[in-house]
Structure 1
């Protein structure tokens, strides 16, 4: 039987039972203390009781530090996930104990992010980190009985997949903005891109349809320019593959400073993201300065759009969807249907 006692104007419930660690909790109202004690004792009687002390003593921020060290560090997208974790640590929810966080807390976070203009897919990725953290804490960190609040809430629904393609003149303007900037006598860079590797990176993305992570993982020892083949040892899908290089792709690689071994593009994912955003902004400003009025020009253009643009162009050269999948790295050819638009008359001729 639990002991309920008054201390300094508050009510403390204490449970002592053989085979269980002593439990205690303080409440402002006596009825709340009695209710909590009854719930804990019922769980002990039913054999469903779990020790929540660790979850009540560990904040989300502290758990994120451990998660980043033990889980994130082993992921392919570790750098990107670390950026999201850093943002989570700064959020007010990070100061709460894991055991006190509810679905309503994260539902409020979801609604605020969407209201601020964050994409549904972005918010889902941010919440996925928290969801996995709770699962890892329960399964591997001995946080027994810790419920995953993300599983009890509604996740934002992503809109249709992006189908962004270049407008007339847009590619040329982007590549112009990516031209390496010259450093002045004062040591500062002039108008242009500070990183000379960003322009060839974008050019290779457009020529091969490789993902950003695949481009950054590309190594000189895995490139056979004579055969026009680039070998990817580790892709998003977890499988290695050979990427055929067009003459344009091979020319981009030949123009780069060559090494025997090592990464072709020693750039971090975040540097690519920021550099690309700044280049688009520079191109847009130049377009407006020249009197451009089209609001769509150089607007809402992301680095990942280059893959869609490249696959769309490749689909015209490779009407065989299986061959197209071999180049793009899609494991499921169904993902390529939006790029494949055969004409009925051409199919009729093939049928004979």
Structure 2
């Protein structure tokens, strides 16, 4: 039922319903107030009323901060997302209230960011906004008729760069490894190329996790949030046995990513190789695929959960394909 009150020259309408919270709105003309009351009561009865009051009271910045503090911080690798959210909070689009966050405003934001950032980065920003809105709708129970990000076309991203370490580059890297003060740098290269281990997995690996007799080890609490057991190549086992014992039980005497990166960059300069350490995983997947390993075997060893991600790491040389065709004919 609607009631009308005139206050300070304006008409305030209050609509009460047993199945809905009280709705209040102010108009200059009484006729407008009456019309609004009738339309709103009809929508409430049919279950079609869109209550945007909460969405009109919270800005995108406030939502992003809530999402950051309640959800992002719980994620294992939350650093990159945390950085992007903090950057979004400084952009003028974050000043918009959720009820005013339109498809057009998001398109303008996307096009503006495209002047200085790459497609992949821009798509990540749009995805963060989209996920934050889903958080508002599902967790905070803030009504929004739709998620405007669903109508934003993502920018086309460039082809994923094929980066593997050639056998010649590997030889040069291993040849110069003994020059380094980091006695573990050569072993780390082997663990990446032969066994597909990530840098973080190498840094956390302890001797107690290694079974030298069976040539296996367990990688605990990996990037995917799970642990897995993997095999170790003969040369990796031999190099592991050469490593000195450390008080904390770690296999290698390196505790930070920055320290690891310093010695890896140094080895690259000595060897005239311009590849990231992560390219060892690309090399691992590509070499084993061309040696006849199945997708399941490569995935189990390397820890990939999704086939589409594994495909990005596997680069089959055209010479290999040509040789396969030759054999088939």
Aligned twin of 1:161: 160
Cα distance per residue 1:142-186 (max 9 Å; x no partner): 202353111121122333332123479877589989x979xxxxx
Alignment of 1:124-139 (within 5 A): 124-139=123-138
Match of 1:210 among 197, 202, 209: 197
Instruction: Say which one has the larger Rg.
Output: 2
Note closer, same or farther for the CA distance 1:79–1:173 as it changes in structure 2 (3 Å cut): same
Q: Gapped runs of 5+ residues in structure 2?
A: none
Aligned twin of 1:294: none
Aligned twin of 1:344: 324
TM-score with structure 2 setting the length? 0.70
**What root-mean-square deviation, in Å, do the aligned CA atoms of Structure 1 and Structure 2 show?**
4.8
Note closer, same or farther for the CA distance 1:42–1:125 as it changes in structure 2 (3 Å cut): farther
Cα distance per residue 1:245-297 (max 9 Å; x no partner): 234545369647635567976436xx589x58x949x959x97xxxxxxxxx8
TM-score with structure 1 setting the length? 0.66
Note closer, same or farther for the CA distance 1:44–1:217 as it changes in structure 2 (3 Å cut): farther
Aligned twin of 1:73: 73
- Provide the secondary structure at the position in 2 that maps to 1:16: strand
Residue 320 (1) aligns with residue 308 (2): no
Note closer, same or farther for the CA distance 1:47–1:345 as it changes in structure 2 (3 Å cut): closer
Residues 204 and 252 in structure 1, CA contact (< 8 A), matched pair in contact too: no
Residue 329 (1) aligns with residue 303 (2): yes
Residue 99 (1) aligns with residue 99 (2): yes
Match of 1:232 among 219, 228, 246: 219
- Provide the secondary structure at the position in 1 that maps to 2:130: helix
Q: Gapped runs of 5+ residues in structure 1?
A: 182-194, 288-296
Residues 218 and 228 in structure 2, CA contact (< 8 A), matched pair in contact too: yes
| In 1, Cα distance between equivalents of 2:244 and 2:30 | 74
- Provide the secondary structure at the position in 2 that maps to 1:44: helix
Note closer, same or farther for the CA distance 1:47–1:324 as it changes in structure 2 (3 Å cut): closer
Aligned twin of 1:243: 230
Give the stretch that moved more between structures: 124-133 or 328-337: 328-337
Cα distance per residue 1:88-122 (max 9 Å; x no partner): 2222222222222112222222223333242x333
| In 2, Cα distance between equivalents of 1:175 and 1:85 | 44
- Provide the secondary structure at the position in 2 that maps to 1:20: strand
Residues 207 and 250 in structure 2, CA contact (< 8 A), matched pair in contact too: yes
Q: CA shift at 1:141, angstroms?
A: 0.7
Residue 267 (1) aligns with residue 240 (2): no
Residues 55 and 146 in structure 1, CA contact (< 8 A), matched pair in contact too: no
Q: CA shift at 1:55, angstroms?
A: 1.8
Aligned twin of 2:147: 148
